Amino acid sequence: AIRNAKMAKEMIEKNKIQKEVEIVGEIQRSLLSKNKKDNFPIAGINIPAKVVSGDFYNFSDLGDGIYGFGVADVSGKGIKSSLLMSKASSLYRCLSKTIYSTSELLMILNNEIYETISRGMFVTMLIGIYDSNKKELTLANAGHEPPLIYSKDGNFSNFEEAGPPLGIAPKFKFKETKINFSNSSMYIFTDGITEIKNPSGEMLGSEGFENYIKKYQSSPINERLKTMIDDILNAGHIQKDDLTILVVDSK
């Protein structure tokens, strides 16, 4: 009877912890931008490997045909990483509404995260501004995966300029780059996409991801990414990391 009572108490505590983790997951999902059904040029998707995620994306309409967006990935997994991601995402959501310089915004985020980050942890992040009037992207990268830019003529190119991840080098001045962006789509993603493996242990890689981009490029932007990830998983790839993609279509 004593043993059964002890087991029942442990089960109650375990369920309580699990419930709290699920609440953290719900809060995280509420910080992600919701895809629009109207003619909006940006969409994103995040599929956590577990209940909580170490990935984040956000986008917003800044008015007058200008849009802001960001994608980030915290090192490590679990509650510790998810809490750091919640902090980084909250800071970005707040500051990106008033700071339109991508380099300045990354510098502020970097300094804030550096002050409280745990030893050995860091955040990779790419942020940008899309000006649909000028057909121009302004990008700044803090150690994140280079995005893939797919032009309507069927060619891929990369934006490889990057500074260190956030939380490593305080007061670092990140470089801001402007690139022409017309008749193209840019895919920003975390390494969970390219490093996902099939049953034979082979990673999807950039080339494999490019094939899925080509396959679904003609799909509506608000449906494209879900269809793409569903196809990747249905093809037998085994998810062990968070899967996050954000796409920007030139209008």
CA–CA separation, 68 and 58 (whole Å)? 8
Calculate the average pLDDT of the chain. 89
Q: Of 239, 139, 247, which Cα lies nearest the Cα of 198?
A: 239
Check residue 27 and give its pLDDT. 67
Q: Percent of the chain beyond pLDDT 70?
A: 92
Check residue 53 and give its pLDDT. 77
Amino acid (one-letter) located at 232: I
pTM: 0.88
CA–CA separation, 61 and 180 (whole Å)? 20
CA–CA separation, 247 and 251 (whole Å)? 12
The residue assigned the tokens 């045909």 is 65
State which H helix or E strand residue 82 sits in.
helix 79-95
pLDDT digits (tens, 9 = 90+) for 188-238: 999 999 999 999 999 999 999 999 999 999 999 989 999 999 999 999 999
Number of H helices, E strands in the chain: 6, 10
pLDDT band at 20 (very low <50, low <70, confident <90, very high): low
pLDDT digits (tens, 9 = 90+) for 147-199: 999 998 889 998 888 999 999 999 999 999 999 999 999 999 999 999 999 99
CA–CA separation, 192 and 173 (whole Å)? 28
Q: Hey, which residues does 21 pair with through a beta bridge?
A: none
pLDDT digits (tens, 9 = 90+) for 52-96: 778 899 999 999 999 999 999 998 777 778 788 888 988 999 999
Residue 206 DSSP code: H
